[in-house]
Amino acid sequence: MNVVQRRSFAQTPLSQKHAAIFIEIAERLSGNRITPDQVDFLTLRVRRRMRVYRDESFEGYIRRVQDDQVEEHALMESLVTHTTDFFREPGHFKWLRNGGLNGLTDGKPASCLNVWSAACSLGSELWSTAIEIAQFQEDAGVPYCANLVGTDISKTILARARAAIFSAEEISGLPIQYRSKYLQRNSIENQRFRIASPLLESASFVAHNLLTPPLFSTLQFDLSLLRNVLLYFNKDDQQRVFNHVLSRLRPGGILMIGHTEVLSIETIGTRRVGPAIFIKE
Ligand SMILES: C[S@@+](CC[C@H](N)C(=O)[O-])C[C@H]1O[C@@H](n2cnc3c(N)ncnc32)[C@H](O)[C@@H]1O
């Protein structure tokens, strides 16, 4: 390709035929639906992957993806949305604070709760939950104790979640009074903050595709967060994933989903106890 051809290719969006191939890959591997009107987003993300190999044509990159499962997975990871924040959907954390945690521990704050953040992205919602538990236990005068597991389909995002290091922008949702208490400045780079002990040691992160049968066959969670991921699935997958996560919750355990996701789900086997909050019966 000469310079002029290269320049004009750089501005060419994916054709419908090529877009359909990438949309099919994203949906098959992750269940995430990308609509044809998102072609600009799709083109941008595909080009980003192509730059890794200096591929110069969509056809060439499609051949690569079809021959290489690792790249196919990397492409899928680049097509899912990781938007998250500390204390996102604050009603859920308020509910935990105002009696939810007391109910979950049966009035015994020293109990060690098992928490699953399904589709955890960077871990912001997992750490927000850990902070609520830590505050609840501190108020009761008992030491911090919790086991939190974060899962996500994206290994790249999980590596960042495990590091538990955040930029100033990424912690903007974290109330000021919690920052000095639960974060430490990352010694290498000052503008970065790391989750501090003992919260840091109370969490682990594992790769898991929610469309497949749930992990942890022997573990029953007290609290599961399945937020802002169902909306990317088709209706059948939404229900399947909801049921998977529910199956790993103990009776009396709490499941939280995204506020916009409530309408599309049959919540059989649960009772609604708050905004997008369900107790397993
Ligand atoms: C928008 S983020 C939501 C993060 C967090 N739950 C929240 O509410 O802030 C969606 C996350 O779901 C993950 N995800 C998408 N499809 C998935 C699947 N099939 N299995 C597991 N995780 C998935 C993405 O990698 C992404 O990190």
* 156-160, 216-220, 274-278, range with the lowest pLDDT: 216-220
Q: Where are the alpha helices (DSSP H) in the chain?
A: 3-10, 16-30, 39-53, 58-67, 69-79, 90-95, 101-104, 124-139, 155-163, 176-182, 235-247
Instruction: Give me the amino acid identity at 153.
Output: I
Is the Cβ atom of 238 under 6 angstroms away from ligand 1?
no
Q: Which residues contact 82 (CB under 8 A, 6 or more apart)?
A: 121, 122, 154, 157
Half-sphere exposure of 206 (CA within 13 A, CB side): 13
| Candidate of 153, 170, 238 to mutate for ligand 1, largest count of ligand atoms within 8 Å of Cβ | 153
Spacing, Cα 8 to ligand 1 middle (Å): 35
Q: Tens digit of pLDDT for each residue in 46-103?
A: 999 999 999 989 999 999 999 999 999 999 999 999 999 999 999 999 999 999 999 9
Spacing, Cα 93 to ligand 1 middle (Å): 19
Is the Cβ atom of 81 under 6 angstroms away from ligand 1?
yes
Question: Which pair of structure tokens corresponds to residue 64?
Answer: 């690569």
Q: Which pLDDT value is given to residue 97?
A: 98
What are residue 97's phi and psi, to 5 degrees? -65, -40
Spacing, Cα 241 to ligand 1 middle (Å): 12
Spacing, Cα 270 to ligand 1 middle (Å): 23
Mean pLDDT of 118-126: 98
198: preceding bond cis by omega (within 30 degrees): yes
Is the Cβ atom of 126 under 6 angstroms away from ligand 1?
no
Closest CA to 85 of 172, 199, 214, 190: 172
Q: Which pLDDT value is given to residue 215?
A: 86
Q: Locate tokens 């060419």: which residue?
A: 12
Local confidence band at 188 (pLDDT 50, 70, 90 cut-offs): low
Closest CA to 254 of 158, 144, 161, 133: 133
Which is the closest atom of ligand 1 to the Cα of 225?
Answer: 6
Is the Cβ atom of 84 under 6 angstroms away from ligand 1?
yes
Is the Cβ atom of 45 under 6 angstroms away from ligand 1?
no
For residues 193-215, one letter each, b for 16 or more C-beta atoms within 10 angstroms of the residue's C-beta and e for the rest, the string is: bbbeeebeebbebeebebbeebe
Q: Which pLDDT value is given to residue 128?
A: 98
Is the Cβ atom of 214 under 6 angstroms away from ligand 1?
no
Closest CA to 83 of 36, 152, 185, 183: 152
Q: Which pLDDT value is given to residue 5?
A: 62
In order of their start, the domains of the chain are 3-79 (1.10.155), 90-280 (3.40.50.150)
In this structure, the residue with its CA closest to atom 26 of ligand 1 is: 82
Q: Identify whether the C-beta of residue 126 lies closer than 8 Å to the C-beta of residue 93.
A: no
DSSP 129: H
Q: Which pLDDT value is given to residue 186?
A: 79
Q: Identify whether the C-beta of residue 173 lies closer than 8 Å to the C-beta of residue 88.
A: yes
Q: Calculate the alpha carbon distances from 86 to 145, 161, 270 in Å.
A: 20, 13, 27
Spacing, Cα 54 to ligand 1 middle (Å): 29
Closest CA to 138 of 101, 89, 186, 179: 101
Q: Which pLDDT value is given to residue 116?
A: 98
